Structure 1
Amino acid sequence: MGEYQFYALTTVILFFKMLANSVVQGVGRVNSKTFVTAEDAQFFAHVPPAPDEAPIVKRAALVWRNDLENIPIFLFLGLIYVTLGCWPEGAFIYFTIFIVARILHTIAYLNGMQPWRTIFFTFGMAMCVALAIQILLTVL
């Protein structure tokens, strides 16, 4: 598998990771019968809207926010990395570590596991830094 194909696979895996987080939110709402919007409360549970989200839904929303702060940057860096033809083996190493780190970060975040959440975040961010450095070394 070439770097572009591995980049595509990485993108799809990260999509499914984020999709799974959406499922956690939906299941959390249904299981707790806690819906903040009136139409969802009526449609799914025939209850009045809740004043606040269930705790797991709040955690999953925080995971989403963190993903949206980190995954797009990684994907842009990764695309530039493979387009420039930086160290090919590095793509497999950096992308794999990033994927694993983000999945473990999500698990740790959803379960309130410190310091693991921070450790996995740091591994993922380190891969972005590594990609950026490799890109700079290639273009300068």
Structure 2
Amino acid sequence: MTLAIELATWDNPIFKSYVYWTGILCLKMLAMSALTGLTRFARMTFANPEDAIFSKSKVKYDDQRIERCRRAHLNDMENILVFIPIGFLYVLINPSAFLAINLFRLVGIGRIIHTIVYAVFVTPQPSRLLAWIFPYLATGFMALEVILKAAFTLPIRIYLFVAKLKKNTMSADELISFENPVFKTFAFWGGALALKMLAMSILTAIQRMKTKTFPNPEDAVLSKVKVKFDDPDVERVRRAHRNDMENIFVFFLVGLLYVLTDPSAFLANNLFRAVGIGRIVHTVVYVKAVPQPARALAWGIPYVATGYMALQVMIGAF
């Protein structure tokens, strides 16, 4: 039986394709920062006084060309940063090479086209919608496959029985394996949280359609309304999404490193569950505007759990 970690090798064409397109997308995201900077200089529009003083201009926040670049960059973070960990977990389930490689290509090419039609050469809809939806569906499919793999692999009891026969610490090859209940639980909740974050984009779009609030002229023209930025319902969903990005992406990295410390299965599995369930509850109580301390508790428990895992990783490293 091939161990999951053995699939993360240059001899595996799926892993090579994943690394190639991840590198491309990372460069693309770095390029978005440069594009925003160049646009600021070209239009002499700066958001910080220490920047504006060099061009002897006033601070300005609402230049539409710059805001378009920033929205395109934010959309990258909402989607590409979900693809990167999910794509890696997808490699580890040993999928069909033909399917996996073309899924990675679809995400990579789609995200590049999305930026071009959004921020470089503004193109009427549905060009941006199509460039967004295909990578979105591909990432969602991969997340679902990871969840199914984690849910229906070798039963945990069999693994624990085998593990008891071993007196030495498990190697990294054995830890990053779907036969390891800790890694299985991490993969399951990682996939679930990836799907949850992807769902936030849909929820934002639903709120925009419901309230007829669109920040881009090519979207507003379809509904024959004016561009609008400040609808409270839309902004509430966007704040919940941003809070996801501030917390879940940290969990993806720290959770994987925590698996490598060979923690107690009982403790680790329940920490992952606390993060997963807590983040889902956080979104529900945030969007539904449930009174405090509901949201504080739903945020605080996953936050503490992730911080504890990070501390254990640091201790394990020394």
- Normalised by the length of structure 1, the TM-score is 0.89
Identity %, equivalent residues? 30
- For residue 11 of structure 1, the aligned residue among 177, 187, 190 is 190
Give the match's secondary structure for 1:84.
coil
The DSSP-based 3-state class of the residue aligned with 2:306 is helix
Distance 1:139 1:31 in 2: 50
CA separation in 2, counterparts of 1:136 and 1:86? 13
Q: What letter matches 1:8 in structure 2?
A: A
Higher-helix-fraction structure:
1
Aligned position for 1:30: 209
CA distance in structure 2 between the aligned counterparts of 1:53 and 1:18, rounded to whole angstroms: 22
Shift of 1:80: 0.4
The answer to whether residue 271 in structure 2 is matched with residue 94 in structure 1 is: yes
Q: 1:128 aligns with which of 300, 306, 312?
A: 306
CA contact (8 A) 1:98 1:124 kept: yes
**Given the alignment, which residue of 218, 234, 237 partners 1:60?**
237
Q: Could you say what the CA RMSD is over the residues aligned between the two structures, in angstroms?
A: 1.6
Equivalent in 243, 256, 264 of residue 79 of structure 1: 256
The number of residue pairs the alignment matches comes to 138
Give me the whole-angstrom Cα distance separating, in 2, the residues matched to 1:132 and 1:88.
Answer: 17
Once the two structures are superposed, what CA deviation does each residue of 1:51-76 show, in whole Å capped at 9, x if it has no partner? x2422210111011111111111111
Q: Which runs of 5+ in 2 are unaligned?
A: 1-155, 157-180
SS at match of 1:35: coil
**SS of the counterpart of 2:260?**
helix
1:136 shift after superposition: 3.9
- Residue matched to 1:111: 288
Tell me the CA shift for residue 133 of structure 1.
Answer: 3.3
Larger Rg: 2
- What is the CA-CA distance between 1:34 and the residue it aligns to? 1.6
